[in-house]
Chains A and B, each alone.
Chain A
Amino acid sequence: QVQLTESGPGLVHPSETLSLTCTVSGFSLTGYSVYWVRQPSGKGLEWMGRMRYNGDTSYNSALKSRLSISRDTSKNQVFLKMNSLQTDDTGTYYCTRASYDWGQGVMVTVSS
């Protein structure tokens, strides 16, 4: 059974760095890509980036200067780090197995 679980701080202060973890089970990170997708409250979905099965990464053009995605295959975890957070980064962050299976999402609020 495929499962993805996002975890991280619910509150981040402006200008700080967001660190999120996606812990997966039921599949191998060396066999499937994992994407990060976010959704500002009341708005649409935004594809943030991808950790490919072979370790390659790709990023949203608008976010790539602030965003980094990495993984630890031994722990079945994919990580997202995004710096210089602002209030419009507030929203729900999802990880997904190549957009087929999704985590429940983690709500992140950027506020002082």
Chain B
Amino acid sequence: DIQMTQSPASLSASLEEIVTITCKASQGIDDYLSWYQQKPGKSPQLLIYDATSLADGVPSRFSGSRSGTQYSLKISRPQVDDSGIYYCLQSYSTPYTFGAGTKLELK
């Protein structure tokens, strides 16, 4: 199975910062990587698919990138509403696997 190592587990950021969350795959996944935001009591919401493509309706302050087998989600000038838990998912080969999640708090 492909392992997805997500970091950090949690972070607190100000509204002026650039927030970066990373997922490192245990092997190449050919950009079959998506990012999700989950708020308490809600279903996950797709933010980014195919590593860099923005899902419909997602603000442009969210972006995705790749360097080798490490994938990053960047939030530029985050808003208070961006608080939540963020997950990556590899869909390159089954069984698909999620990262452990990153809890983001905006201060």
Query: Contact residues of A with B, CB < 8 Å?
Result: 35, 37, 44-47, 49-50, 58-61, 94, 99-100, 102-105
Contacts and interface: CB of A to CB of B under 8 A. Distances in A.
A17 B98 CA distance: 25
Interface in B57-97: 85, 87, 89, 91, 94-97
A61 B95 contact: yes
Contacts of A59: 94-95
Given A47-B95, A100-B55, 4 more contacts: A35-B96, A44-B98, A99-B36, A100-B46
Interface of B: 1, 34, 36, 38, 43-46, 49, 55, 85, 87, 89, 91, 94-101
A104 to B, nearest CB: 6
Contact of B101 (A37, A44, A102, A104): A44
A47 B97 CA distance: 6
B89 A47 contact: yes
Contact of B43 (A58, A60, A103): A103
29 contacts: A37-B44, A37-B98, A44-B85, A44-B98, A44-B101, A45-B38, A45-B44, A45-B87, A45-B89, A45-B101, A46-B98, A47-B89, A47-B95, A49-B95, A59-B94, A59-B95, A60-B95, A99-B34, A99-B36, A99-B46, A99-B49, A99-B89, A99-B91, A100-B46, A102-B43, A102-B44, A102-B45, A104-B43, A105-B43
